[in-house]
Structure 1
Amino acid sequence: MKLGFLTACLPQWDLPTIASWAAGHDYQALEVAVWPGSGGRDFEAAHLPVATFGKREADATRGLFEQHALELSALAYYENNLHPDPGRREEIRTHLKHAIDTAHLLGVPYVGTFVGRDWTRPVAENLAEAERVFPELVEYAGERDVRIIIENCVMEGWHPDGYPGNLAYSPELWEWMFDLGLYLNWDPSHLTWIGIDPVETVAPYIDRIVHAQAKDVQLRPADRQRYGHFGPAVDRSANPWDMGWWRYRVPGLGQVDWSGIIDRLYEHGYTGTLSVEHEDPVWGGSPGKVTQGLEIAHRTLRPLIL
């Protein structure tokens, strides 16, 4: 197992700067963000120009990672592949294919994204639509020796009422999406706040957990007494991502049992990357604070990784 981090937390830095910092602070891998540019969420970043990526860029990128003895574990483009607007959905589909092409050129085995959801339609119709949309993408990736990995994030901010906006948040849905040829970028933080014990999900699904993210979550049960599990309902417009009773933290500052999780991953033979996904509001807002957060995550996780 190798410890890495998702570069999206440092949108202000270019990839050479991130790679130099990571190697100098005992990180072993990078999950590289490849959004087309700064988007609507502050953790979107463009660290490789996948839409125009060619052999020259591939050679330079491989050289950068060799120089710093880092592994490029996956490319990250987490967008809504079932977006209700046809034009936006086509833009996402096209960019995802660019990411897959870039992964192929670099010999990177995984490209991460979301199943997503059309929030104007019920779940059953979304499942049927995903069964139409994803086989072509999976085939496209497979022809290039790339696997599409799905993070099990709820993406509640995509739904106007704070309900799941990404149909891959539970083991029930994982089993459904595995039949489409998709794999997991497994993140225990999301499981924790929706009431699923992440440790108990490792053994049944280890064959499909090919990449993992390390993000913590801090629960505030007293606030849940006001809002209930689904968060604020009267006014969600100020911040649709604020559920009122929990927030993401860097590993070690929340409720996730990292010792138990890493032990269970080792027990069942996981040898992939554990990639810190830094979305901690306390340790965010500037590169200096973000890197301090990454150092906290490193101090928490590195002693547990052999």
Structure 2
Amino acid sequence: MKLGMLTACLPRLSLAEIAAWATQAGYEALEVAAWPGTGGRDFEAAHLPVAGFGAREADETRALFERHGLELSALAYYENNLHPDAERRAEIHAHLRAVVDAAAALRVPYVGTFVGRDWTRPVAHSLDEAEKVFPRLVEYAGERGVRIIIENCVMEGWHPDGYPGNLAYSPELWEWMFGLGLYLNWDPSHLTWIGVDPVKTIAPHADRIVHAQAKDCQILPGTVDRYGFFGKAVRRDNPWDTGWWRYRVPGRGQVDWNAVVDALYENGFTGTLSVEHEDPLWSGTEDKVKTGLRIAHRTLRPLIVD
């Protein structure tokens, strides 16, 4: 197992700057953000220009990672592959294929994304759509030696009423999506707030957990008694603010990281545990984000066998 980090939390730094800092901070791998860089969300970082990515770019990227002694664990493009707007969906699929092409050129085994959802229609419609969409994407990736991995994020902010916007949030849905040829980028933070014990999900799905993200979740005392499980309804200006929980860096929330890492080892996980920093207390400036990443490293490094 290697300890890595997702580069998306530092969108204003170049990949070269992040690689240099990550090595100094003790990280061993990078999960590289590969959005097109045109989105409105802060985490939509474009650290790898996959459009027109060729042999020269691949050589330069490999040389950068070799120079810093880092592994490139996965490319990251977490978007809604079932977007209700047909034109937007086509754009997302086209960029996902470009990310797959870049991964193949770099000999990176995984590309991370979301299943997503058409939030204008019932869940059953999106499940049917996914069964049409994903086999083609999986085949495209497979022909290039790449696996598509799905993060089990709820993406409740994508739904106008705060319901799940990514149909990959529960073990029931994992088992369904595995049938489409997809793998799992397992993240315990999302399981924590939806009431699923993260540790109990590892052993039954170990053969499909090929990459993992390290993000924590803090339940704010007493708040769920006011808002209920679905969160704020009257004054929810930010669609991501439920009012009763928040993401934290590992070691600052409810996740039992000793138990998580132990279970991953017990079930044969040999991939990268990649810190995904979305902690609001350690965000807002580059220095604060880097401090959060250092806290995460301090929490997880002692648990990982050298």
Range of TM-score over shorter length: over 0.9
- TM (norm. structure 1) is 0.99
Residue identity matched to 2:261: I
CA separation in 1, counterparts of 2:285 and 2:84?
33
Secondary structure of 1:79's aligned partner: strand
- TM (norm. structure 2) is 0.99
CA separation in 1, counterparts of 2:107 and 2:203?
28
CA separation in 2, counterparts of 1:174 and 1:248?
22
CA separation in 2, counterparts of 1:208 and 1:85?
30
The residue that corresponds to 2:16 in the other structure is: 16
Query: Residue by residue, what CA displacement relative to the aligned partner does 1:34-80 show, whole Å, maximum 9, x if unpaired?
Result: 00005222111000000121100000000000000100000000000
CA separation in 2, counterparts of 1:188 and 1:41?
22
Secondary structure of 1:92's aligned partner: helix
Residue identity matched to 2:29: A
CA separation in 1, counterparts of 2:248 and 2:192?
12
Secondary structure of 1:91's aligned partner: helix
The residue that corresponds to 2:279 in the other structure is: 280
Secondary structure of 1:234's aligned partner: coil
Residue identity matched to 2:233: A
Residue identity matched to 1:297: A
Matches within 5 A, 1:1-306: 1-236=1-236, 238-306=237-305
CA separation in 2, counterparts of 1:261 and 1:234?
36
Give 1:220 deviation, angstroms: 1.4
CA separation in 1, counterparts of 2:267 and 2:293?
27
Which runs of 5 or more residues in structure 2 are unaligned?
none
Query: Residue by residue, what CA displacement relative to the aligned partner does 1:236-276 show, whole Å, maximum 9, x if unpaired?
Result: 3x100001100000000000000000000001110000000
Residue identity matched to 1:253: R
Which runs of 5 or more residues in structure 1 are unaligned?
none
RMSD: 0.6
Secondary structure of 2:222's aligned partner: helix
Secondary structure of 1:18's aligned partner: helix
Query: Residue by residue, what CA displacement relative to the aligned partner does 1:200-224 show, whole Å, maximum 9, x if unpaired?
Result: 0000000000000000010014111
CA separation in 2, counterparts of 1:227 and 1:18?
39
Q: 1:7 to 1:38 in 2, by over 3 A?
A: farther
Q: 1:38 to 1:258 in 2, by over 3 A?
A: farther
Runs of 4+ with >6 A deviation:
none
Give 1:234 deviation, angstroms: 2.3
CA separation in 2, counterparts of 1:124 and 1:93?
21
CA separation in 1, counterparts of 2:76 and 2:12?
17
CA separation in 2, counterparts of 1:287 and 1:34?
19
CA separation in 2, counterparts of 1:37 and 1:21?
22
| Count of matched residue pairs | 305
Residue identity matched to 2:26: D
Residue identity matched to 1:27: Y
Give 1:235 deviation, angstroms: 3.6
Query: Residue by residue, what CA displacement relative to the aligned partner does 1:145-189 show, whole Å, maximum 9, x if unpaired?
Result: 000000000000000000000000000000000000000000000
Query: Residue by residue, what CA displacement relative to the aligned partner does 1:84-108 show, whole Å, maximum 9, x if unpaired?
Result: 0111101100000000000000000
